Amino acid sequence: MLAIFKRELKSYFYSPIGYIFVGFFLLLSGYFFATGNLMSGIADMKMVFGNLSIVFLFLVPILTMRLISEEKKSKTDQLLLTSPVSLTGVVIGKYLAAVAVFLISLLITGVYPIILYIFSSPSLGEILAGYLGFFLMGSAFIAIGLFISSMTENQVISAVASFGVLLLLWLIDMIVPFIQNPFIARAIEWLSILRRFQDFTLGILSLSPIVYYVSFSVAFVFLTVRVLEKRRWS
Amino acid sequence: MIEIKDLTKSYGENIAVDNINFTVEKGEILGFLGPNGAGKSTTMNIITGYIPSTEGSVKVAGYDILEQPSEVKKRIGYLPEQPPLYMDMTVKDYLHFVYEIKKVSQNRKTHISDVMEMVEIGDVQKRLIKNLSKGYKQRVGLAQALLGNPEVLILDEPTVGLDPKQIIEIRNVIKDLGKDHTIILSSHILPEVNAICGRVIIINNGKIAAIDTPENLSKTLTNESKLVVRVAGEESHVIKALKDLTGIKYVEAQGQKEPDSIDYIIEAEANIDIRKPLFYAMSKHGYPILMLKSLDLTLEDIFLQLTMEEEAM
């Protein structure tokens, strides 16, 4: 699993994909930080996280589109599946590599709060909670991308489908006010990945959204393993 | 070492491998011969645990592939039809990665450089795999299979895409490995299997058509002596002259391949060398022989022969 993780992480930076992801992530977060904090003189990062969480929907497919589809296409899955490593190990290694690239970009944005601290006194708890929430939500998005990548050999299909699914998860919030049946409305609300994130940016740290995001990620990683397992047997 | 029992693999209605049984002894080099789509690669993929079988069992060193897959996988080095290479890695990085996922116990640096030396890829170790030629890619694939010095090697068409010099080199490497490894190798080149393997399985339509040593197989095939002969002269006259020869069983005109001459395939009775009488007869009639050679039996001919024999029974 460690070997898979290391190889996958390196391969992000052997190819332009890693640089494109990190570059655009930093460009966009820098833009939101400059407009939302520096230019408007606001010391809390709520705006940055809010905007970034939407933009991140577009960036996730870059990170996940080739994770498993590429392996199938270049037949390197033959090497992995005939080695004494478990399928679960392979999938987790790949997932963690994508999460690691995300984490690296997120850590670089750590300079923004430092800049804020130099000129002002923002609430530390609020910012840390925001970062934690963003990381957990992003990891859940990546798990969805990983799952979709396991279902096709084609990177373009994988990217477009991941983007579509993530976009739908975002748009799902907008339909809630129009639904009369309170039970269905609640069910849809429960599915909303982004709504839980808003609590974090307000500095509210409760267990339930953390459990939600972690179990969301675990579920999709598990489903990916099942998809691959099933494909071998069919 | 390898025990295959009642192995069947079907994809819906399509049966890729149909009830195959065979065993491979320790230290044996077994050749797998068959045309495309015969089930060679499928069988190999099942033995290595890449895909599960529909029915039947595969045991390697006493371990069942479905029950103790990691014990089996540890003991097998596999070179699939298309080498499983990561194009964006260097040769050295790639081998280090394979070393890690295979949980190899030998000393890392010396073992990897030993393997690189064995297949002669030391001089390209710092290059990206995508920039290598097909022959080098194939060798990197072979190096990957050799890492960890597994007891069993399964090589799917290991010499495909190599130039003649490299083919001979790789064959020698395989022969050397055969001294202390059990090897299954597939090919559709008959002389290759002849040169390397101690025993041959001919597989067709997912079924085993024959298992024997290469010597025995070619013995059963060479008791017919078919010749190709190119003769200048009027076709009907030449055919008549050929048919008049004693010992000729069969004559077939193949059409014109060179101006003013016709090619014929002739078959003589067993144990008769027809070449001298043929020469004198043609010279007597004034039809010059432009070419005379024995008809090489291709793998396809063996198949035709084996399948026709089966149908006759």
Q: Are strands B14-24 and B29-33 parallel, antiparallel or unpaired?
A: unpaired
Which residue, B161, B189, B220, sits at the end of a domain? Answer: B220
Q: Which residues of B touch A85 (CB under 8 A)?
A: 101
CB distance from B308 to chain A under 8 Å?
Answer: no
- Indicate whether B222 pLDDT > 60: no
Q: What is the pLDDT of residue B300?
A: 57
pLDDT tens-digit readout, B122-133: 899 999 999 998
Q: Could you say which residues of chain A have pLDDT below 50?
A: none
Residues B287 and B185 in one domain: no
Residues B122 and B203 in one domain: yes
**In terms of CA atoms, which chain B residue is nearest residue A14?**
B88
Residues B63 and B209 in one domain: yes
CA distance A81 to A66: 18
- Tell how far CA A131 is from the center of its chain: 13
Terminal Cα-to-Cα distance of chain A (whole angstroms): 25
Mutate to test the interface with B, among A67, A75, A77, A79 (most CBs of B within 10 A): A79
Q: What is the pLDDT of residue B168?
A: 86
pLDDT bucket at B313, cuts 50 / 70 / 90: very low
- Indicate whether B299 pLDDT > 50: yes
Q: Which has the closest alpha carbon to A138: A227, A78, A52?
A: A52
Give the range of the structural domain holding residue A158, as residue numbers without chain letter: 2-233
Asked if the Cβ–Cβ distance from B78 to A3 is below 8 Å, we say no
Q: What is the pLDDT of residue B312?
A: 47
Residue contacts between A and B (CB atoms, under 8 Å) = 66
In single-letter form, the type of residue at position A92 comes to: I
Distance from CA of B84 to the nearest CA of A (A): 4
Residues B123 and B157 in one domain: yes
The CATH number assigned to the domain holding B112 equals: 3.40.50.300
pLDDT tens-digit readout, A36-77: 888 888 888 888 888 888 888 889 999 999 888 888 888 898
Helix (H, G, I), strand (E, B) or coil at B211: strand
Which residue, B174, B201, B220, sits at the end of a domain? Answer: B220
Nearest to A84 among B82, B103, B144 (CB): B103
Give phi and psi for B19, each to the nearest 5: 55, 65
Residues B182 and B279 in one domain: no
pLDDT tens-digit readout, A182-205: 888 888 888 788 788 888 888 888
CA distance A132 to A140: 12
CA distance B110 to B84: 23
The CATH number assigned to the domain holding B245 equals: 3.30.70.100
Q: Which residues of B touch A79 (CB under 8 A)?
A: 78, 84, 98, 101, 144
**Alpha helical stretches, state H, chain A:** 2-14, 16-33, 46-64, 69-73, 77-81, 87-108, 111-119, 124-149, 155-175, 182-191, 193-201, 207-233
| Residues in A lying within 8 Å of B, measured between beta carbons | 2-4, 6-7, 10-11, 14-15, 74-86, 232-233
Give phi and psi for B22, each to the nearest 5: -170, 165
pLDDT tens-digit readout, B269-289: 777 778 888 888 888 888 899
| Enclosing H/E stretch for B73 | helix B69-74
Whole-model pTM: value is 0.82
Give the range of the structural domain holding residue B295, as residue numbers without chain letter: 223-312
Asked if the Cβ–Cβ distance from B85 to A76 is below 8 Å, we say yes
ipTM field: 0.86
pLDDT tens-digit readout, B78-119: 999 899 999 989 999 999 999 999 988 889 999 999 999 988
Nearest to B73 among A2, A10, A83 (CB): A83
Q: Tokens representing B278?
A: 């043929």
Number of domains present in the structure of chain A: 1
Residues B205 and B95 in one domain: yes
CA distance B231 to B266: 12
Residues B176 and B238 in one domain: no
Q: Tokens representing A96?
A: 């963690």
Residues B45 and B140 in one domain: yes
Which residue, B193, B220, B247, sits at the end of a domain? Answer: B220
Residues B260 and B204 in one domain: no
CA distance A50 to A35: 13
The 3-state secondary structure of A4-36 reads HHHHHHHHHHHCHHHHHHHHHHHHHHHHHHHHH
Nearest to B52 among A79, A83, A233 (CB): A233
Asked if the Cβ–Cβ distance from A74 to B86 is below 8 Å, we say yes
Residues B145 and B289 in one domain: no
Residues B40 and B102 in one domain: yes
Distance from CA of A105 to the nearest CA of B (A): 22
**In terms of CA atoms, which chain A residue is nearest residue B10?**
A234
CB distance from B101 to chain A under 8 Å?
Answer: yes
Residues B131 and B279 in one domain: no
